[in-house]
Amino acid sequence: MRILIIHTFYQAPGGEDTVFQQESSLLSREHEVHTLTFQNKKGWRGALQTIGSFWNIFAAQRVKKSIHAFQPDIIHLHNTHYASGPLLIRTIAKLGIPQVMTLHNFRLLCPSATLYHHNHLFLDSLHEEFPWTAVRQKAFNNSTVKTFLLALNYWLHRRIGTWKKVNRYINLSSFAKSIFAESTLSISTEKFAVKPNFVFPATIGSEISQSYFIYVGRLSDEKGILQLIESVKGTRLELRIIGGGPLEEEVVKSISGHSNISYLGFKSRAEILPLVAAAQALIVPSICFEGMPITILEAYSVGTAVLCSKLGPLPELIIPQRTGQTFDPHNNKEITACLTQWNAKPADEKDEIRKTCLAYYFSKFTPEINESELLAIYKDAIEDKKLSK
């Protein structure tokens, strides 16, 4: 199969970039794959890209050239915000090529993209034809102008039917699918398919299990890191924190004087995996709706359990008591109790849990399984395109 994969990189690297790169690499093993990428800019160049994203004829021309030169059987879109824009979808449809789009976030429904704003879940846009509440509350980059422009862009393309031209959408979870299927997009439920992310098998040796818990991720409010720290303070539970972000200074200050909590700073994946493998559990205390955290899949790939928030899609990734447990991220006592109970499990039970985590990874999140699911979605998209002619 000839597959054209299109992606727009954010200014700072993120999880969507990783998924794009991993899937491109995976599909290249047995298929002819060509990638076309765009790059978001800062400053006045970024402002021009934002304005141009309404109807980016330059990006559309690049797509046309790639299609004519490569002659793909299918096109897979990842991020189009904002250097490329939704016009790509109309261009692809006009040329008669089936297309699939991965919905890494909720931007089609709300300018916030994460359904999180001002330290709380923000769901107002799900019930509004035009997201005026998001505009008033500056849901995107804390800017009324930027939020309005983004909202207008996506609303305009909803009005002219751009989003309906995609043959299949990929949701990362059943939770996300239900939100999109019930939204004001008015797109047939059949067009939404659920396919989780994947990670390549770990290439590290077996690690000796230790008693600490570990947090790996961005140090920002929506990740629930401060609540986790407060829940562990004054206990005998050991927590190690890895990552960087806007709350780094506050995290360092907050753990000062608490010897059971340590901040290890930002580390590479090669450095992180052995530390996760040796931990008794990865902690994911997010107070926002996550997409599909790669950190959870990596934990399973090295046999490490996951204790996480019961919000959004995260409970879908947990087999209670067998691969992990969930907690209310807003309830410090419940977080403490969850970690304390897990810490008290006998060593032989934890050994069985490690085996179950590995088995769960190999049953659901391997490259081979992911490729099979991707190809099935591609075939459905191709068939959908044939029927629509």
Residue ranges of the domains in the chain? 2-198+367-388, 213-364
How many residues in total does the chain contain? 389
pLDDT in tens, 275-327: 999 999 999 999 999 989 999 999 999 999 999 999 999 999 999 999 999 99
State how far the Cα of 272 lies from the Cα of 243, in Å rounded to an integer.
10
Q: Which long-range contacts (CB under 8 A, 24 or more apart) does 348-354 make?
A: 350/209, 350/280, 350/305, 351/209, 353/305, 353/322, 353/323, 354/209, 354/303, 354/304, 354/305
- Model pTM above 0.85: yes
State how far the Cα of 45 lies from the Cα of 58, in Å rounded to an integer.
14
7 forms bridges with which residues in the sheet? 37
pLDDT in tens, 53-82: 999 999 999 999 999 999 999 999 999 999
Question: Do the two domains 2-198+367-388 and 213-364 of this chain adopt the same fold?
Answer: yes
Architecture per CATH, domain 2-198+367-388, reads as 3-Layer(aba) Sandwich (3.40)
Q: What pLDDT is attached to residue 205?
A: 65
What are the φ/ψ torsions at residue 257 (nearest 5 degrees)? 90, 0
Count of CA atoms in the C-beta half-sphere (13 A) of 361: 24
Count of CA atoms in the C-beta half-sphere (13 A) of 123: 7
Residues of the chain under the 70 pLDDT cut: 205-207, 389
206 token code pair: 């077996």
168 forms bridges with which residues in the sheet? 100
Maximum separation of any 2 CA atoms in the chain, in Å: 67
For 213-364, CATH number?
3.40.50.2000
Q: What pLDDT is attached to residue 333?
A: 97
